[in-house]
Amino acid sequence: MLKKIISLFAVMSILTAALPVGAEPAVNAKAALLMDFGSGTVLWEQNADEPLPPASVTKVMTLLLIMEAIDRGEIGYDTVVTASERAKSMGGSTIFLDTNEQMTVDDLIKGIAVASGNDACVAMAEHLAGSVEAFVERMNQRAAELGMVNTHFVNCNGLDAEGHYSSARDIAIMSRELMKHNDIFRYTTIWMDSLRDGKFQLANTNKLIRFYDGATGLKTGSTDGALCCVSATAKRDDLHLIAVVLGSPDSKNRFASARELLDYGFANYRNVRLGEKDKVVTSVPVKKGVKSEVNLISADDAYALLSADKAGAVETKTELNGDVRAPVKKGAQLGEALAVLDGQVIARCRLVAADDVKRKSVFSYFKSLMEYFMTP
């Protein structure tokens, strides 16, 4: 019989039918989409799959590949990159790199995320892949891996080019992937900073960072072909939202539309945090093990995304897969957490063993028996 333990715990996904639709946000753009970061649930959309020029929002993918290269140990934040003549030749938004100028990865990320430096993108692309063309191939490959079916990149910075396009949904997907790298917010939340020992001043192109409560990023863009675009992210309590706006007529409407989307999300939804990846949820006894019990941890960050009026109505519990017997392998699933709303299970999350537990040897049994009889 399954043992049930009431516990503060929940899930990475939800039953979207439980989410109501509130007053529609007023968006002045060709396409837009609002997504919950935690679950990936789309909360509102408009022409979300239409391929459109994304301008410098393209740089979300460039930044993602940089962060993934850092995670793999291919580069570090202190790695020095040498700018090429091609990097120097970039037009549009730049940080005015000179040929053979050297700058750290840390400063180049800052130049991309804060000042939208097209030259910084080229310098990083050439450093990581040997050429911009090879880097763009990696961008398209990663887009395919993420399921971005309405995206094709031609360059790494978003300058208008034939065949360079993405969609609001795809931009939300790659934005969410970038946001999994928490270090990126050290850059995207900068309002004012500098490069070259204070000689070159930076001001964030994303005005929401200063003027919107909880703003965390992520990237703006504007060209003649794309008009004004943004992937705007903001967090309040445990709700982290992604608002994508493409093809807005001007910057004022771009940010107003992003505000509308974010306001709609924060007004209508709550993310209830009920568990944390790798944090202990409970412990269970282990039969015939060298340890008498093993801790169970959440396999994922655990949230329940709910409508605002349902946030306090979720019942959370865990169920074990029967008795636990040694040997137990670390990471083995020993149960699951359930989130229950109005008597229905709306989502599940795995509970896994935090450690290995070896089976007791014959000698261990004999030793325990001797200790039992010798204890006064």
Q: Has 116 been annotated as catalytic? A: yes
Q: Has 175 been annotated as catalytic? A: no
Asked if 163 contacts 155 with a C-beta cutoff of 8 angstroms, the reply is no
Catalytic residue among 39, 56, 222, 298: 56
Task: Please tell me what DSSP assigns to residue 51.
Answer: -
Q: What is the DSSP string of 308-358?
A: GGGTT--EEEEEE-S-EES-B-TT-EEEEEEEEETTEEEEEEEEEESS-BP
What's the sign of the alpha-carbon dihedral 170, 176, 177, 181?
positive
Contacts of 199 (CB under 8 A, 6+ apart): none
Q: What is the phi-psi region of residue 86: left when phi exceeds 0, alpha when psi lies from -120 to 50, beta otherwise?
A: alpha
- Surface-to-core class of residue 65, CB atoms within 10 Å of its CB (0-12 exposed, 13-18 middle, 19+ buried): buried
Catalytic residue among 13, 39, 116, 166: 116
CA distance 155 to 191: 27
Catalytic residue among 30, 59, 310, 360: 59
Q: Has 89 been annotated as catalytic? A: no
Residues forming the active site = 56, 59, 116
